[in-house]
Amino acid sequence: MADKPSIPKGTRDFNPLEMARRNFIFDTIRKIFKTYGYLPIETPAMENLSSLMGKYGEEGDKLLFKILNSGDFKAKLDAETLHETPAGRLGVLIAEKGLRYDLTVPFARFVVQHRNDIAFPFKRYQIQPVWRADRPQRGRYREFYQCDVDVIGSHSLLNEFELMQIMDEVFTALGLKVVIKLNNRKVLAGIVEVIGEPDRMIDITVAIDKLDKIGMEKVLAELDQKGLSKQSVEKLKPVLEMEGTTSTKLTFLSGYLNQSEIGMEGLMEVDKLFGFLKDHPVDAAVEFDLTLARGLNYYTGTIFEVKSDEVQIGSICGGGRYDNLTGIFGLEGVSGVGVSFGADRIYDVLLQLERFPQEREMDTQLLFVNFGENEANYILSILRRLRSGGIASELYPDPVKMKKQMAYANNRKIPFVALVGEQEMQDGVITLKEMETGNQERLTPAELVERLSNNIS
C-alpha cells in the first residue's frame, strides 16, 4: 500500500458524530454568552507577527506558528545574516505573519483598530480555533478551539462576577462538576513586596504552586537555590504554611499584607467577589487559590481557572483581568477582563464521563428506497413536500438491492423507510416502515407529512 495520508501532529479530523457532539458544546456556550448580552466577532486565523510576538512571554514566542513569507523570502537577507542569525531568530526575518495563539490578543488589536466604532464597555464573544506549536499530549493539541468572552472598557468588579456566573452556568448546562479557582495578581504582588523581593514574583509563585507536589522542605531549598535571602524565605513561610477555608486565608492575609497597598487592594477585590457570591450563590465550588499564577503575563488583577472535579485534565477554562492589554497597541487606560473556555478539553471530559446527550434531531428521518428510474422520479416530488415541511428526508441514489438500502438506513440509524414501488404508485400511497418496530403502514403523501411532523416534536 502507498504511504497513508496523514495530518500534522497535534491536529485532528472530526467525523459526523464528533461534530454533533462538538456543536452541542459550542451551541450551549454560545447561547449563554448571548443571554448575558455579549456580541460575536471573528478575527483572521493569521495576524501580523509583530502583533503576536512578546505578548505571551518568552515561552509563548517559541510556541507561535510562523508563516513563511511568500515569494522570495530570503531576497532581503544577505549571506552573512543568513549564516550568522541563530535558527530561533531567523523566523522573524523570513516570516511576518503568524497563526493566532489565543483570542485575547487579537481582540485587543481589534478594539484598538476599531475603537471609533465600538461602544464601551464592549462585551464580545469569539469562538474560533487557535494554534500552538506545543508538544501534543493528552488534552493538549496544536489546533484547538477557544470560546472567549471579554468585557473591555470597564473596571467594575461586576464584570468579574458576571464571568463567574457565566462559567457556572455553562458547566451546569453541560452537566459537569467543576471547581472555579480564583486568585489575584495584586495579592501575589503584595506578598513579594512584603517579603522584600518585588522582582521575584515568578519564582515565588512557582514555588507556592509546587508546595503540594514536593513538600515544604524542597520548596524552601529551591527558593534558597534561586538566590532568595534567608530573611525573605522566613517571611514567606507563613504564607506557605497557610491553611484552612477561604475566609481564614483572607483574614490571615489581611494582617500579613497590611503594609502593602497593592496587596490590600487585591485582597479587597477578592473579598468583594466572595461577597457577591454570598448574596448570589452559584452551583460550582469557588476556591481562593494562591497557587494560581497563570503564565500569560498580561494579567493584572483577578485570575480565574476552572478544573473538572471528575476528570484529571488541565484547566478547562481560564482567564482574568488585564489592565493594559490595548496599551501595547497604542490605546492606554482601557481595562478588560475575560475568560476562555477550552472546548476540546471539555469534549474530552464529557466523552470520558459519557455525558453527551443522545441527540439526533437534524439527522435524516426518512429514507426512500430506490426501485428504479420511474419510481425515483415520482418520489422526487414527495421529497419536496416533506422537505418544505421541515422533515429531513432522502432518496437512496442507486436502484440497488433492497437489502443493501435497508442496511444503509440501519447504519445511518434512519428511523423510517418509505417504499414506493409500482403498486404504491398506482394506489397513490406510500408504504412507511418504522425501523425500530418493523411496523408498516400505507399512507397518502399528506398523511405521511403529518405523521412525521408529529414524530419530530
Partner RNA sequence: GUGGAUGUAGCUCAGCUGGUUAGAGUACUGGAUUGUGGUUCCAGAUGUCGCCGGUUCGAACCCGGUCAUCCACCCCA
Binding site residues, RNA, CB under 7 A: 1, 9-10, 57, 59, 102, 132, 134-141, 144, 146, 206, 210, 213, 293-296, 305-306, 314-318, 340-342, 344-345, 401-404, 406-407, 409-411, 417, 419, 421-424, 431, 433, 435-436, 438, 440
CB of 25 to RNA, least distance (A): 13
CB 33 within 8 A of CB 347: no
Task: Give 171 or 256: the residue with its C-beta nearer to RNA.
Answer: 171
- H/E run at residue 337: strand 336-342
> Considering only CA atoms, which of 254, 240, 255 is closest in space to residue 205?
240
CB of 123 to RNA, least distance (A): 19
CB of 38 to RNA, least distance (A): 17
> Considering only CA atoms, which of 167, 149, 169, 154 is closest in space to residue 37?
149
CB of 145 to RNA, least distance (A): 8
> Considering only CA atoms, which of 12, 318, 363 is closest in space to residue 149?
318
CB of 425 to RNA, least distance (A): 8
Task: Give 188 or 406: the residue with its C-beta nearer to RNA.
Answer: 406
Three cell numbers, residue 238 = 507563613
CB 49 within 8 A of CB 96: yes
Terminal CA-to-CA distance of the chain, rounded, Å? 49
Task: Give 76 or 404: the residue with its C-beta nearer to RNA.
Answer: 404
User: What SS3 state is found at 31?
Assistant: helix
Secondary structure tally for the chain: helices H, strands E: 18, 16
Alpha-carbon gap, residue 55 to 209, rounded angstroms = 23
CB of 165 to RNA, least distance (A): 18
Q: Long-range pairs for 201-208 at CB < 8 Å and ≥24 separation? A: 202/293, 203/228, 204/228, 204/236, 205/291, 205/293, 206/293, 207/240, 208/239, 208/240, 208/290, 208/291, 208/293
CB of 235 to RNA, least distance (A): 23
Task: Give 169 or 305: the residue with its C-beta nearer to RNA.
Answer: 305
Q: What is the Rg, in whole angstroms, of the alpha carbon atoms belonging to the chain?
A: 29
Pairing between strand 122-131 and 143-152?
Answer: antiparallel
Alpha-carbon gap, residue 287 to 305, rounded angstroms = 10
Task: Give 10 or 445: the residue with its C-beta nearer to RNA.
Answer: 10
Task: Give 96 or 203: the residue with its C-beta nearer to RNA.
Answer: 203
Task: Give 34 or 404: the residue with its C-beta nearer to RNA.
Answer: 404
Three cell numbers, residue 283 = 452551583
Task: Give 161 or 298: the residue with its C-beta nearer to RNA.
Answer: 298
CB of 331 to RNA, least distance (A): 22
CB of 64 to RNA, least distance (A): 12
Task: Give 197 or 257: the residue with its C-beta nearer to RNA.
Answer: 197
